Structure 1
């Protein structure tokens, strides 16, 4: 439903016991039975999942015949850091398709990782399509289109057969109609669904039978978490910390994660703040039944005062694992 989301506080920025700032947003926690165990804010309003939708897009490409597995499939669902392994992997996908970097249709950019980007700039390297964080997905899209005999020049057009096939799977896995189609930052079509639908899609991917496109995507991303993100990225660390967890982040404060039994969480931070995304997602996973001890490192960066910790981002009480109320 396209309307103004009714977001509510999901985290407080606390300095020495005083709330200094409030992050609004929405959170949904699904149980293994698919029912909503917790909702905070507005989980049914249409929003843009951004890169959190990439696992679904990867499933769609596999269903359309994309012959990737392992680290290259993980890269096809990645928001990568622009490390050399990511660039090399994207080249490998393009080579398998008989294509080159010049065939990519995403926007040129510098590497996403700050350290990699700084090194890139020091070397005098310019923005490139290969370095842009969605290049693996775009290479996979080209490969899928070529295998099906579809045109390449317009493969990012929402009316293109590739994008129509992806849209069909988005609706299939989310269980709802796409509310709006726009253009993502990388240039690919971006489909608007609800936070509830995003969580449902993640759960369907992690609970799918072995060997299915959904299971192949989940296996690839979990086994090659750094290929789907990068060295030191929180989403990779989260998958390592929680056995069997599939997790994917997205720009503007989006996070989705699901366990093999179907428990799933999805988070949208209204102001897009990254500092709230991780601690809120970790708290939601604890509410879903994940051992809080396994999530301790995801409590968020400390707020400093005079060089010493004086506070930080604290999820709202409704996300406390001991609390069982539902807020809307």
Structure 2
């Protein structure tokens, strides 16, 4: 944290790592938990702290896509919400989304990367492979964005990532619909897409809204897809996948810089 960062006062010590009985590192942050009725039940640090939830906002983006006409089977919609690990099943699913819209990997506007999955990355490297757009963990989201653009006859060149593009405007409008708050500001995520900043409380409300939505609604379809196919949201060894597999009904999504948000169908939600 910088010397003048507002996070200096907003964050508190959440944990300490010890080794042989001695403190090795301390971890700072903020946590907020919502009760069944949506009120704040507990908080550590300042829950009004504005943060970039990063990939934890993918359910917002996916909801805007579905509301704009994207119609995918749950398995593929789950990948649109994913920070996938680049396993073969993830790459095949991203290709399937692109193919359904008459597109290819070349149309993706996200950055290139190796798979997050160690085994998949090792196989790529052994074969002399390089970083690609499809392997990047956000390629499912970008495939969904492009398919949504094609469905609506919106431009699907590099401008689909511009904040002024109709798709990105729909996503920005979806933030207050799901969270009750406008985005505090908008930056650029690591994949190249707009990144919406919001309070930790707003992020928890997003997940509460999505998980409690009618299954036939856009957010309800997103919740169903993620919970039905948690292996597509992360990967077989990823915390977010294991958590949804291990806790019936739970909806969760991780994001960069230690962000995590979860919610239960009864309305309880936590973001950190």
Give the TM-score taking structure 2 as reference length.
Answer: 0.95
Preserved contact between residue 7 and residue 26 of structure 1 (Cα < 8 Å)? yes
Q: For 2:76 and 2:171, how far apart are their aligned partners in 1?
A: 19
Match of 1:48 among 48, 52, 64: 52
Match of 1:4 among 3, 6, 27: 6
Q: For 1:108 and 1:19, how far apart are their aligned partners in 2?
A: 38
Pairwise CA distance, 1:13:
1.0
Pairwise CA distance, 1:20:
3.0
Q: For 1:37 and 1:45, how far apart are their aligned partners in 2?
A: 16
Pairwise CA distance, 1:21:
2.1
Which deviations, in whole Å up to 9, do the C-alpha atoms of 1:279-305 show, x marking residues without a partner? xxxxxxxxxxxxxxxxxxxxxxxxxxx
Q: Which residue of 2 aligns with 1:94?
A: 98
Match of 1:240 among 238, 245, 254: 245
Which deviations, in whole Å up to 9, do the C-alpha atoms of 1:119-161 show, x marking residues without a partner? 2111111111111000000010001011111111100000101
Q: For 1:130 and 1:15, how far apart are their aligned partners in 2?
A: 39
Map 1:1-328; keep pairs closer than 5 Å: 4-5=6-7, 6-153=10-157, 154-267=159-272
Pairwise CA distance, 1:69:
2.8
Runs of 4+ in structure 1 deviating by more than 4 angstroms, as ranges, are none
Q: For 1:170 and 1:125, how far apart are their aligned partners in 2?
A: 38
Alignment RMSD, CA only?
Answer: 1.1
Pairwise CA distance, 1:170:
1.3
Q: For 1:33 and 1:68, how far apart are their aligned partners in 2?
A: 32
Pairwise CA distance, 1:17:
4.1
Preserved contact between residue 236 and residue 242 of structure 2 (Cα < 8 Å)? no
Q: For 2:22 and 2:265, how far apart are their aligned partners in 1?
A: 39
Pairwise CA distance, 1:15:
3.0
Q: Which residue of 2 aligns with 1:322?
A: none
Pairwise CA distance, 1:214:
1.1
Preserved contact between residue 69 and residue 216 of structure 1 (Cα < 8 Å)? no
Q: For 2:174 and 2:212, how far apart are their aligned partners in 1?
A: 16
Q: For 1:17 and 1:27, how far apart are their aligned partners in 2?
A: 26
Q: For 1:126 and 1:114, how far apart are their aligned partners in 2?
A: 14
Pairwise CA distance, 1:16:
4.1
Q: Which residue of 2 aligns with 1:293?
A: none
Preserved contact between residue 215 and residue 224 of structure 2 (Cα < 8 Å)? no
